[in-house]
Amino acid sequence: MTSQVPPKGMSNLMLRVLVGVALIMVALAAVWFGGIPFWLLCVVLGVVMMGEWADLHATPPATKRLSQYALSVPLAVMMPVLGVGPGFFALGLLAGAAFFVVITTRRSGLARGILYVGLPIMALLLIRRQEEGVVFTIWALALVWACDIGAYAAGRFIGGPKLAPTISPNKTWAGLAGGVLLASLLAALLHYRYGLALRLTLATPALAVLAQGGDLYESWLKRTAGVKDSGTVLPGHGGVLDRLDGLVPVAPVAAVLVLLPKFYWW
């Protein structure tokens, strides 16, 4: 009996799904435990992202490692319990690391990567340390996941006019709408089931659009660099930047929204 070999596209999709599910499980476990496990996951991802950012900017290996070392200093300071955590001191160190990189390497694009990678990590650590940090962090992560899934499904089955054909030919307006819709439905579920704050629920559609903007920005970076993926560390997905591009702009805005009650009555 002759076995049937699945089409290559199908096998690639299955690999993508399996790796995606595994990544989500790891992320949820780290969020649940919080503390050092969550910080450690963020640090590992951040160092890899910085390396991929350096590669997209055609950075020599030695200079790439220098940028990763520079980023590791503020990330280390953000360690819970043993460090000072995410705060103004860590923010100052992020700015200092970016300044150090631009002074020593004369590469402003590489220095921007310190902030591009470091600010979202700091934001996520800030969100997780709040009293309802588990729900808040899952909301910030899951709205980006839902946006990606909804955009992929709507773009694939509906199609239609392209969103930004010169940057990312596969993205459509229908995909954008599908991503916003699914992310909004997820936020509504978190609101009614787990008490997600109304301000966060109502802000979710705008954050879903922001996630798509982050995706487009990274697509532009890759097109400028002449590469298909930011890296090869994740089978079926490319690099870590490819997976977290939507979260990069969402996390800092989400942190501001989460922290609003500390400054104003809502």
- Please return the burial class of 128, using the count of CB atoms within 10 Å of its CB with bins 0-12, 13-18 and 19+: buried
Quick one: pLDDT at residue 256? 96
Residue 30 has pLDDT above 80, yes or no: yes
Condensed to tens digits (0 to 9), the pLDDT of residues 189-217 reads 999 999 999 999 999 999 999 999 999 99
Condensed to tens digits (0 to 9), the pLDDT of residues 90-129 reads 999 999 999 999 999 999 999 999 999 999 999 999 999 9
Average pLDDT score over residue span 6-26:
75
Enumerate long-range contacts of 18-25, CB under 8 Å, 24 or more apart. Answer: 18/236, 19/234, 19/235, 19/236, 19/237, 20/236, 20/237, 23/234, 23/237, 23/243, 24/145
Phi then psi for 131, rounded to 5 degrees? -60, -40
Quick one: pLDDT at residue 14? 80
Average pLDDT score over residue span 213-223:
94
Quick one: pLDDT at residue 264? 57
Instruction: Check residue 34 and give left, alpha or beta (phi > 0: left; psi -120 to 50: alpha).
Output: left
Q: Taking the CA of residue 240 as centre, how many other CA atoms within 13 Å lie in the half-sphere pointing to its CB?
A: 18
Using a pLDDT cut of 70, give the percent of the chain over it: 94
168 DSSP β-pair partners:
164
Residue 7 has pLDDT above 70, yes or no: no
For the ranges 9-23, 79-93, 190-204, 212-226, which has the lowest average pLDDT? Answer: 9-23
Quick one: pLDDT at residue 169? 84
Quick one: pLDDT at residue 236? 72
**pLDDT level of residue 177 (50, 70, 90 thresholds):** very high
pTM of the predicted model, to two decimals? 0.91
> Are the C-beta atoms of residues 31 and 128 closer than 8 Å to each other?
yes
What does the domain layout of the chain look like in residue ranges?
Answer: 34-129, 131-266
Residue 2 has pLDDT above 50, yes or no: no
Condensed to tens digits (0 to 9), the pLDDT of residues 130-164 reads 999 999 999 999 999 999 999 989 988 887 889 88
90 or 263, higher pLDDT: 90
Cα distance between residue 67 and residue 77, in whole Å: 16
Quick one: pLDDT at residue 82? 78
